Amino acid sequence: MNNLISTFIGALISFMILVNGILSDSIGNYSSSVIIHLVGLVSVLIVLAACRSKISIQKGIPLYMYSAGALGVFTVLFSNLSFTQLGVSLTLALGLLGQSISSIVIDHFGLLGMDTVKFKSKKYIGLLLISLGIFVMAAY
């Protein structure tokens, strides 16, 4: 089930980049970022109400853990900036390369309390194939 959900997330991200990019081209990067996040806030409030869940802020959680919202804002802003020049596929492909590299670093060093998953040299093959695919997409 999680594999299916993860695949669905990938499809949603493609459409998100497309819709966000078009909105950004229409009204500007900063205005679109505000609107995108306000719509996201309203959406999650509706989900919370439908699930009868409450927002809870727990003590003892390091303050930097709440930075995910800022990371989301910069992710949307930077993908909107890239979308105009690169299109959806190359923006997403380069983003996935960045995610792959940063995920490997996070796993290898066990950053932010994650379990350590050491990098094996076999993974270089995957990174090479991803990089070659992006090169072909960018060149042609």
**Per-residue pLDDT reduced to its tens digit, 21-58:** 999 999 999 999 999 999 999 999 999 999 999 888 88
Q: What is the predicted pLDDT for the residue at 60?
A: 87
Q: What is the predicted pLDDT for the residue at 59?
A: 86
Residues 6+ apart with CB under 8 A from 114: 106, 107
50: its two tokens: 């439908």
**Burial environment of residue 76 by CB neighbours within 10 A (0 to 12, 13 to 18, 19 or more):** buried
**What are the sequence ranges of the domains in the chain?**
2-139
Are the beta carbons of 117 and 111 closer than 8 angstroms? no
Are the beta carbons of 81 and 17 closer than 8 angstroms? no
Q: What is the predicted pLDDT for the residue at 139?
A: 87
Task: Give every residue of the chain whose pLDDT is below 70, as ranges.
Answer: none
39: its two tokens: 């719509």
| pTM for the full predicted model | 0.81
Share above pLDDT 90 across residues of the chain, in percent, rounded to a whole number: 72
81: its two tokens: 């900036």
Are the beta carbons of 45 and 93 closer than 8 angstroms? no
